[in-house]
Structure 1
C-alpha cells in the first residue's frame, strides 16, 4: 500500500462520541464533518420502525424510543458478559443482555424483535464513520485507517475492534494508545528539517520550551472523555516515548458534568413551576439530560448558556440559564477528582508536579476552562509547566491518528522502517515485546561550578554544595543514546575540568511565610505559609570520570556523551569547531 492507492484516515472511536480526520490539501489534519455538518458523532444507534438513526440523529430517540436506542457499546466489544461490572450494565437506553456470555441488545427493527451483539452494533457504527469519510472525500478510495484505544483495553478487545472494522469494509493500519494520538496531534513526535524537535508546545506559537527541555520532557496526557478519565505520564526522550504510569477512572467523565447540570436545572424547574420531576418520569429526565449536554458544550466557549426544554413535566416548559462561574462551583467535585487522578498518576511515575514539563488535553470535556483552572493549581506559576490545549480537545485524538496514518503510508515500501511497522501486531503484549528497549535508570551529566552573573539567580535553588548538575542523558532514556552540550570557556583558562557523574532527582521545598497583618487587618484570617517546590539533581559524590580539556585561547567546549545498551559510556570533548577530540574517556568498558 502507498499514498497513491488512496487516502488514509484517523478514527477516534470513543464510547460516547466518535470522529474522523484526514490530511487536507495543505498537509494538515482536519476533522471531517458528516452530511449534517457534525464533527463529533454520538456513538449511538436507534431503530424506529423501518428507520435507522445513527449518531446525533439518534439522541432525540432517547426521549421517546429509549428501549430501541443503543449506546455505550464500544467498551463492551471483545469482553464477556460475566466480566462486566454492575455500573456498566446501568443505562437509560436499551439494556445489555447476556447471549452465550456475549454482551448484546434486544431491539425491535421493522416490527421484528432482533438481538444484536456489541460486535454487530460496532460494525454498523464504524460503517457510519467510514461512510461519512467516503462522502467527504468524494470518491477518493480509502486505503486504511489508524484507530486509537485506551491503555486499559485488553488484547481481546483490540482484536475484536479490528474484526469489526474489517467486517465494515475498513482496513486497519495500526491501533495505537490514545496518549500516542495526542502526542502526534501536537507534532511533538515530528522532527524538523535538521532533525530538531518542536520548540513550542502549541506548534509555532506560545511560550517556547526551555532550551534544556527541547529534547527531554515529562508529559502528562489527560483524556477527559464522556464516560471516563484517563491520565498517562509519558517520558519524551528525543523523539522516543515511554509510558511511566497510567490511571483509568471510569467513575467520572463528561456525563458526571451532565449530572450536576441536570440536578441543578431540575431544582430550578421546581423553584419556578412548583412541580417536581418524578423519579419514574424517564421521558422528562431524558429531555433534560439531552439539553444539559448542549448547555455544557456551550459553556466551553461562552461565559453563560441557556437550557430550554419544551413540555418538561406536566406540560410545563422550562427555560434556565447558568454562567460559567456557577457551573464551575457545581462541577467543583468532579474537577477535584480529575485533579486527584492526575496527582496519583504523577506519584505512580515517581515524579513530583514540579518535574512535569507539559500537560496535553484530550477528550471533549477537557476543553472546559474549569478543568484547566483546577489543573493549574497543581503546578506553580514559576514551574514552566505548559498546559497545552490549542487544538480543540475533542479533535486531538482523531487528528493525531490521521497524522500517524499519513506517516505510515509515506514510508517507502522497501525501507526497513516500513517493514518493521507492517510486522507489528496490534496486540499489546506483542507490541511491548517488539518495542521494549533498555533505558537509563538514572540521569548522567556534568557537574559544574555555580554560574556567575545573570544565571546565578535562576539556578540558585538547584545548587548542591555550590555545584550545579546539568543532565545530558535523563532517566528513562532509551539506549543507545547520544547527547551533546556546548558551553563557554572562562576567559584566559588554560584548561577546563569536566566532571561526569550520575545523579538523583530531588525536590526542594521552601516555605514562604506570609507578611504579618497590619493593625487595620486584625479581623482578617491570617494567611497560610506557602510552599514553593523546585526540581533539581543531587550528583553522586563519586564521579564517573574527570577530564582535563586544554582550552588555552578557546571560546567554547562541546561535550558529547554516548550511553550504550550495555551501560558503557563514552565521553568526548572538542574545543571550538575543531574536528579532533581534545579529551575523552570510556566508562564501564
Structure 2
C-alpha cells in the first residue's frame, strides 16, 4: 500500500483516554475530533437498555448506571485474571470477573445479561475510534495505523492489542513504545532535507540546542497518564535513540490528582453544609469525581477553577473553587513522588541531573504547571536542561504515531527501508534483537591543553589537570560511528598534535556558603549552604591515539574519527581543503 491509496492514522490508546491523529493538508499531524468535538475520548463504554454510550458520553453513566459501565479495560487485555493486582480489580464501575482466567465484565445489554471479555470491550472501543476517524476523513479509506503501548507491556498484551485492532477492521502497521511516539511528535528523530539533525527542541521554534548538543543529548521522557507515571531516559546519538533506563509507577497518575481534589471538595462541602458525604453514597462520590476531573483540567490552563455539583448529598448543591496555588499544595506529595521517579530513572541510567539535556512531556497530567515547576527544581538554572512542552501533552503521543504511520507509507514499496520496517515483529524480544546495536561504553574525544584568558573562564569547570576534554563520540553511541571536526592551526606551526583518548564522566559538586545575616535583624533564619553541580570529563592518562599532523603554512586541520563495532578506532587528518590525508592512525585490528 502507498500513501496515495488512502490515509493513515495514529492512535493513542490510553487506559483512561484515547485519541486519534492524522496528517492534515499542510503536512502536519492533527488530533481528530469526534462528532461531539472531543479530541480526548474517555476509554469507557456504558450500556443502558438498548443504548450504548461510548467515550465521554459514558462518563455520566458512572453516576446512575455504574454496574453497566466499563472502564480501565485497556491494560487488562492479553493478561490473565490471576495476574491482576488488587488495585486493578478495585473500581467504581462494572466489576472485573474471572472467566477461565480471562478478565471479563458482566453487564446488561438490552435487558439481557451479557459477559464481555476485556478483548471484546477493546474491539468495540477501537471500533469507535476507527469510526470517528472515518467520519472525519469523509470517505477517504484508512489503509493503516500506528498504535503505541507503554514499555512495561508484555508481548502477549501487544499481540492481543493487534488482534483487537484487526477484529475492529483496523490494519496495524506498527506498534511502538510511548517514548518513541513522543520523540517522533517533536520531529526529534526526523532529519532535515539535507540530512541535518533537528536544531530546536520545539520543532523550529524556541531556543536552539547548543552546538555541542545537536548530535548527542541525554533525554528524559516523562509520561504522566491517568493511571500511571512513567519515566524513560534515552540516549540521543545523531538521530539514533536507545533506552538507558525506565521507571514505571502505578501508584500515581492523573486519577491520584483527582483523589486529592475529591477529598478537598468533600471537606469544603461539609464545611458549608454541615453534611458529611457517607462512604456508601456511591452516586455522590461519582458526581464529585467527575466534576473534580474537569476542575483539574481547567487548572492546567487557568489560575483558578470552579467545581459545581447539583444535589451532591441529601439534596444539597455544592459550588466551590480552588486556585492553582492551593491545588499545588494538595498535590505536593504526588509531584514529589513524580520527581523522585525522575531522579531514580536518571540514577539507573548512571547519570546525574546535570548531565540531562532535555525533558520531554507526555500524558494529560504532564501539562499541569505544578509538575513542571517540580521537575524544574531537579535541574540547576545554569545546566541548560530544556523542558520541552510546546505540543499539548495529551496530544503528543497520537500525533507522533500519525507521523510515524505517514513516514512508513511514504517510503517506496520496493525500498529496502520499507521492506525492513514491514519485516519487523511487534514482539518485544524479536524486535529488540533486530534493532539492538553495539554501542560505545565510554566517551571518546580530543584532549586539549587548557585555553587561557576569557576562553578559559568559559570552560573553567571542565578543566582537569590543566587539560580540557572535548567529547567527539559520546558514550552509548551506536557503532560503527563517524564524527568529523575542524581545528585551527597556530600561526607558523610546522605540525599539530592530535590526542584522542577515552574519558570518565564526572560531576563536580561545589558548596556555596550563604552570605552572613545582618546581626541587627534577629528574625532572619540562617540559610543553608547551596550545592552546585556541574558535569565534566576526566580524560585517561593513557591516550588511544596521538597523531602528528604536518601543518606548515596551513590554517586548519579536519580530523575524522571512526569507531567500528569490533572496537577499532581510526583517526584521519586532512589539512585545509585537501582531499588527501596528511596523517592517519589506527587502533585495533
Match of 1:144 in 2: 144
**Which residue is 2:501 aligned to?**
501
Task: Within 5 Å, give how 1:351-366 maps onto structure 2.
Answer: 351-366=351-366
Structure 1 residue 523 displacement after superposition: 2.3
Q: Does 1:428 align with 2:415?
A: no
**What is the Cα deviation at residue 436 of structure 1?**
1.0
Q: CA offsets, 1:412-435, max 9 Å, x none?
A: 111111111011000100001111
User: In 1, Cα distance between the equivalents of 2:134 and 2:561?
Assistant: 50
Secondary structure at the counterpart of residue 561 of structure 2: strand
Query: Matches of 1:232 and 1:294 in 2, distance apart?
Result: 28
In 2, the alpha carbon distance for the partners of 1:550 and 1:452 equals 25
Q: Deviations over 1:180-216 (max 9, x none)?
A: 0001000000001221111110111111111111001
Instruction: Show the counterpart of 2:524.
Output: 524
Counterparts of 1:91 and 1:578 in 2: how far apart (Å)? Answer: 71
Give how far 1:555 is off: 2.2
Counterparts of residues 281-320 of structure 1 (less than 5 Å): 281-320=281-320
Counterparts of 2:522 and 2:209, CA distance in 1 = 44
1:348 pairs with 2:342? no
Write out per-residue CA displacement over residues 40-82 of structure 1, whole angstroms, 9 at most, x where no aligned residue. 0000000000000000000000000000000000000000000
Q: Distance in 2 between matches of 1:125 and 1:357?
A: 38
* Partner Cα separation in structure 1 for residue 529 and residue 492 of structure 2: 47
The SS at the match of 1:519 is coil
Query: 1:187-336, aligned counterparts within 5 Å?
Result: 187-336=187-336
Give 1:508 deviation, angstroms: 0.7
Q: Equivalents in 2 of 1:470, 1:121: separation in Å? A: 55
Distance in 2, Cα, partners of 1:40 & 1:546: 58
Q: In 1, Cα distance between the equivalents of 2:84 and 2:491?
A: 70
TM-align CA RMSD: 0.8
CA distance in 2, matches of 1:15, 1:493: 66
Instruction: Measure the CA separation in 1 of the matches of 2:522 and 2:198.
Output: 52
Q: Does 1:162 align with 2:179?
A: no
- 1:42 is aligned to 42
1:147-178 C-alpha deviation (Å, 9 max, x unpaired):
00001000000000000000000000000000
Aligned residues: 589
Deviation at 1:573, TM superposition (A): 1.1
Gap runs ≥5 in structure 1: none
Shift of 1:453: 4.0
Output the TM-score relative to the length of structure 2: 0.99
SS of 1:124's equivalent in the other structure is helix
Task: Specify the alignment match of 1:117 in structure 2.
Answer: 117
Q: Deviations over 1:367-396 (max 9, x none)?
A: 000000000011000001001000000000
Q: What residue is the counterpart of 2:568 in the other structure?
A: 568
State the shift of 1:557 in Å: 1.7
Q: Give the corresponding residue for 2:171.
A: 171
Superposition deviation, residue 227 in structure 1: 0.3
Task: Report the counterpart of residue 379 of structure 1 in structure 2.
Answer: 379
Determine the C-alpha separation between the residues in 2 that align with 1:159 and 1:79: 11
1:20-50 deviation line (CA, Å, top 9, x unaligned)? 0000011000000000000000000000000
Indicate how the Cα distance of structure 1 residues 326 and 472 shifts in structure 2: closer, same or farther if over 3 A, else same: same
Shift of 1:452: 3.0
1:494 to partner: Cα distance: 2.3
**CA-CA distance at 1:300 after TM superposition:** 0.3
The Cα of 1:451 is off from its aligned counterpart by 2.1
Work out the CA distance in 2 between the residues paired with 1:50 and 1:517. Answer: 74
Q: Partner of 1:198: helix, strand, or coil? A: coil
**1: CA distance between counterparts of 2:491 and 2:201?**
36
Secondary structure of 2:464's aligned partner: coil
Which moved further from structure 2: 571-580 or 135-144?
571-580
Deviation at 1:551, TM superposition (A): 2.0
More displaced 10-residue stretch of structure 1: 62-71 or 200-209: 200-209
TM-score (norm 1): 0.99
Give the Cα separation in 2 of the matches to 1:325 and 1:491.
61
Alpha-carbon distance in structure 1 between the residues aligned to 2:157 and 2:353: 33
Give the 3-state SS of the residue equivalent to 2:116 in structure 1: strand
Residues 339-488 of structure 1 mapped to structure 2, 5 A cutoff:
339-488=339-488
Residue equivalent to 1:80: 80
For 2:395 and 2:452, the matched residues in 1 are separated by: 47
